[in-house]
Structure 1
Amino acid sequence: MTAITGALAMAVAMGLGRFFYTPVLPAMMTGLGLGPAEAGWIASANYVGYLLGAVLAAYGWAEGIERKVAISGLVATALLLLAMGVSSNVLVLAIIRFLAGLASAFVMVFTSAIVLSHGLAASKPWVQSSHFGGVGAGITISAAMFGLIILADSGWRTAWIMAAVLAFAGLAVVMRYLPRDIVRTGPARKEPPLAWTPSLAALTIAYGIFGFGYIVTATFLVAIVRVGGGSSLFEAGVWLATGIAAAPSVAYWMPAVRRVGHANVFALGCLVEAIGVAASVLVPLPAGPVIGGILLGGTFIMVTAFGLQLGRQLANESPRRALALMTAAFGTGQILGPVVAGYLADWSGSYTWASLAAAAGLLASGAIVLIYCRPRAA
């Protein structure tokens, strides 16, 4: 039940609170007259909030109240989804997305701390797969819902409002079943300052570059479909395929982790994802975006999760500080990604150059981890 609850929390905070912007974006751009640069700025505001939340989470103020902070973040997520459905001003939308990013970071850090500690205490490693799989489940459910909204000929505002309804339903379950506290071997205490090693520093840099590389396609994949002439229903279908690939991704990469280690799987995931990102713009419709969505979904949660696991191995005395600061680096990459992609799309008239830059970033991220982190991780 703890694993299911964690998955629901991640589905609400990440699958809905963060990534629902992707399928709704083309309709919002049409309805509000937004260009790629404006859409990129709104997306980046979310990632600025995520970065701030991750940095704040690195300090010890939440010791002993992790559950309260996580629940508060989920309440805020649901309310902010509703606010997106009744707003039109670009600045207001950016502020809403900033606050949603802040809330999602708190939920990710503190819910993960609770749920994963219970999984480790019970010697059940599959709890991690279930927990992070909630992101893909949230994407899948939201994509299916968005497809139904398209079939019903409803607008993008209805989509945001229905996302808020789903978020409140998930919140009710999480409030009932999320454990009260982290499993600790002793009383709550502040972790010691993080001891930076070359391997941990390299991993943190690589994690930030990965944030840049994956977020371009994660933000603009459905817009790529629309620019290529795909229908609204096909847009929803591509995002649905992304979510279906994402939900079990941590689980089906686990055998590879046991065989070759976190660092090698991180690098392999970056390579596979880079192929998908490039294919989304280089291979014509309908195959290109479908390949891109499946390879993106099948890797981005896994690389995110296993990167954090590798960080815990490299900073076992201060794992929460490492998780929070790596998430901050990740957030920095995410802030830059949509802004750069938006301006490149405005300049070139397509998302091709932006996606190829993202693919190059993914290859660089995997190479850094493969070179600098593999021996220590082994």
Structure 2
Amino acid sequence: MSISERSAAMGAAERRPWLVLLGLALGLCITNGFARFAYGLLLPAMKSELGWSYAQAGWLNTANALGYLGGAVLTMLLISRISPSRLFSFGIVTTTLALLVTGYDPALWWQTLWRVLAGVFGALSFSSGGALAAQLFTDNPRKNALAIAFLFGFGGGSGIVLAGGALPLMLEWYGPASWPKGWYLVGIACVVFAPLSLWASESLRPPRQGRAPRHPALPLLRMVPEIAGYAAFGLGYIVYMTFLSAWMTEQGSGGGLIAAVWALLGVCLCISPFVWRPVFARFATGVPLAMILACIAVGSGLAVIYPSGPGLVVSAVVFGLSVFMAPGAVTNFTRHNLPMESWGAAISLFTVVFAISQTVGPVAAGWLGDASGDIGNGLLAAAVLGVGAVVALMQRRIG
């Protein structure tokens, strides 16, 4: 693309910033809502049909998390050499291909391979997407806060609404053996969403510079509470997302209730940006992340303490209104406290920390479920999230 074409694309971002934001959010719908969480919906059927233990089922999400970790590290290494828009676009295309082929073969090695690759490719878009969204509405703090929250809330939430409203019902109608069709449906949805996402990322790609600028070093010691709180988020939230359907199935919930709870969860994720926008706009400290972690802890605990229909509904509402705002909180913290040249590196660092912590959660919960015969024990991650909230509250504004 020539410099004039790139300048025209940047002009499109200034003229139609909300459409650009929607495209970025649909990209996260692919790499976050579909690539990472559709597995939780298909897990009960795959476990039943393929004879997996809880540890094997948890391993596949850990494999995805390991791939995500690799992608996050790769993004951190490349973000100063390759523009975030290029990384975002590459991640969208490759994640779509990975999801399309996941249902081709039930062998554990095949499933592991594509869960790993979906994690690698998805992390490229997730890390760079936050840096892209932070470029929108830079002269309007309230709109900028909404853009960051919308990216993560609507981006992941829309994928869960679509997948959560369709996949459990499809499995109930066609039986557990239809799980490969679920992956094909997810892949087709990605193909539909990808064009607008690619256009949006291109709209935020600046003209090529002659020499890459040197980025200032991150003030890591002064960011420790925020980093530690985000690590607690990665460790605690993924257990709920991985085993919620399996837990509901063990409690005797039918496909209709499972679909309703996941759809409600997704709807709450979609509207969560509007709930948290005032908090993001007001605070540049660790307060937003601390509040979010506390809410996630409450939502996680409710699913175990009150596993009936009403309890699960309240759990989905509290959890859904908060969980995808944690990435928005650290992106907002980055936007308020660091120069623009450091945004990509800082968000990549947060993503690496998050990726490391979330590799532990699913497989540890699966082992605990196998040992106790009750996967509900694996959902008790509220204490970890609560500790993370206290630590994040210690984060002060930088400079």
Distance 1:188 1:145 in 2: 48
Q: What corresponds to 1:115 in structure 2?
A: 133
SS in 2 for 1:281: helix
Distance 1:234 1:191 in 2: 53
Tell me, yes or no, if the aligned pair for 1:200 and 1:315 is still in contact at 8 Å.
Answer: no
One-letter amino acid of the structure 2 residue matched with residue 167 of structure 1: C
Measure how far apart 1:40 and its partner are.
0.7
Q: What corresponds to 1:327 in structure 2?
A: 351
Q: What corresponds to 2:156 in structure 1?
A: 135
Tell me, yes or no, if the aligned pair for 1:129 and 1:248 is still in contact at 8 Å.
Answer: no
Offset from partner CA, 1:181-205 (integer Å, 9 cap, x none): 4458977734535333433123212
SS in 1 for 2:330: helix
For structure 1, the residue ranges without an aligned partner over 5 or more in a row are: none
Aligned residues: 375
Measure how far apart 1:107 and its partner are.
0.9
Distance 2:53 2:213 in 1: 46
Q: Kindly tell me: are residues 365 and 4 of structure 1, through their superposed partners in 2, closer, same or farther at Cα, counting changes over 3 Å?
A: same
Distance 1:240 1:369 in 2: 30
One-letter amino acid of the structure 2 residue matched with residue 256 of structure 1: V
Measure how far apart 1:264 and its partner are.
1.7
Q: What corresponds to 1:354 in structure 2?
A: 378
One-letter amino acid of the structure 2 residue matched with residue 34 of structure 1: W
SS in 1 for 2:137: helix
Offset from partner CA, 1:290-317 (integer Å, 9 cap, x none): 2222222111111221123224444436
Measure how far apart 1:68 and its partner are.
3.2
SS in 2 for 1:195: coil
Which of residues 282, 288, 299 is equivalent to 1:265?
288
Which of residues 236, 240, 244 is equivalent to 1:213?
236
Is 1:89 the equivalent of 2:107?
Answer: yes
Q: What corresponds to 1:289 in structure 2?
A: 312
Distance 1:280 1:48 in 2: 27
Distance 1:269 1:283 in 2: 21
Distance 1:145 1:219 in 2: 17
Measure how far apart 1:106 and its partner are.
0.5
Q: What corresponds to 2:6 in structure 1?
A: none
Measure how far apart 1:28 and its partner are.
0.9
Is 1:341 the equivalent of 2:365?
Answer: yes
One-letter amino acid of the structure 2 residue matched with residue 139 of structure 1: I
Deviant stretches of 4+, over 6 Å: 184-188
Alignment of 1:1-378 (within 5 A): 1-60=19-78, 63-120=81-138, 124-125=143-144, 126-132=146-152, 133-150=154-171, 152-153=173-174, 155-182=178-205, 189-192=212-215, 194-259=217-282, 262-316=285-339, 318-356=342-380, 358-371=381-394, 373=395, 375-376=396-397
Q: Kindly tell me: are residues 284 and 108 of structure 1, through their superposed partners in 2, closer, same or farther at Cα, counting changes over 3 Å?
A: closer
One-letter amino acid of the structure 1 residue matched with residue 323 of structure 2: F
Distance 1:245 1:185 in 2: 39
Distance 2:211 2:260 in 1: 46
SS in 2 for 1:59: helix
Identity of aligned residues (%): 27
Q: Kindly tell me: are residues 147 and 200 of structure 1, through their superposed partners in 2, closer, same or farther at Cα, counting changes over 3 Å?
A: same
Q: Kindly tell me: are residues 198 and 64 of structure 1, through their superposed partners in 2, closer, same or farther at Cα, counting changes over 3 Å?
A: closer
One-letter amino acid of the structure 2 residue matched with residue 20 of structure 1: A
RMSD: 2.4
Distance 1:300 1:111 in 2: 17
Q: Kindly tell me: are residues 254 and 84 of structure 1, through their superposed partners in 2, closer, same or farther at Cα, counting changes over 3 Å?
A: same
Measure how far apart 1:318 and its partner are.
2.1
Distance 2:76 2:151 in 1: 21
Measure how far apart 1:173 and its partner are.
2.4
For structure 2, the residue ranges without an aligned partner over 5 or more in a row are: 1-18
- Which range is displaced more, 106-115 or 86-95? 106-115
Tell me, yes or no, if the aligned pair for 1:22 and 1:222 is still in contact at 8 Å.
Answer: yes
TM-score calculated relative to the size of structure 1: 0.91
One-letter amino acid of the structure 1 residue matched with residue 133 of structure 2: V
